[in-house]
Amino acid sequence: MLERNATVPLEKRIEFRIGINVGDTGRLASQAARLGQDDATCAFSGRVLLGEPNIAITHFARAARLNPLGPYLIHSQMGTGLAHFLAGRYVEARLWARKALEHRPDFLNALRLLAASSALGGRTEEAEKTVQQLLRLNRTLRISDLKDVYPFHRPEDLANLIEGLRTAGMPD
């Protein structure tokens, strides 16, 4: 599978994962008003994965305004939370993860974000309970699988997520 192949350049893995050319994320983000929210959300997800969280937050907010009741709102909320997490704003990340979970309580990525941001934000008990919930939903979840789920451009972004989940009690 392309996304698991470490010999494939990161940009190509991101393109495969989100379905757009990474080089187009800036162009697509700047044209978000003319895009459907699903296309805009993919473009902004690329911004997060490439390590541009503050730009991504602005664009996710724009995507949510385009269609505040649309089916992709949950992805804008998750993306906003992840962007805050990558910027070191764990309280905000936790709040956005909770917003996404209001719409879909079994959203694994939002639960991971909630666990990691809670742990790094000093809410250890909440972090541990969230990991227990994650493992009830999927017993096979492991920290070692994160590189396949989150193809971050900056190694420190994955390291912070791993640190948060490890602190929360996620198995290696």
Whether residue 113 contacts residue 93, with contact meaning beta carbons closer than 8 Å, is answered with yes
H-type helices in the chain, by residue range? 10-18, 25-30, 37-49, 53-66, 73-86, 90-103, 108-120, 124-137, 146-149, 155-168
Q: What pTM does this model have?
A: 0.75
Q: What are the sequence ranges of the domains in the chain?
A: 2-168
User: pLDDT 10s digit of each residue in the chain, 172 long?
Assistant: 334 444 444 444 444 444 444 455 454 444 444 445 444 555 556 677 777 888 888 877 877 777 777 777 888 899 899 999 999 999 999 999 999 999 999 999 999 999 999 999 999 999 999 999 999 999 999 999 988 888 888 899 999 999 999 999 999 9
**Which fold is adopted by the domain 2-168?**
1.25.40
Q: pLDDT tens digit string along 110-141?
A: 999 999 999 999 999 999 999 999 999 999 99
Angle at 6 between CA 5 and CA 10, to 5 degrees: 100
Q: What is the pLDDT of residue 16?
A: 40
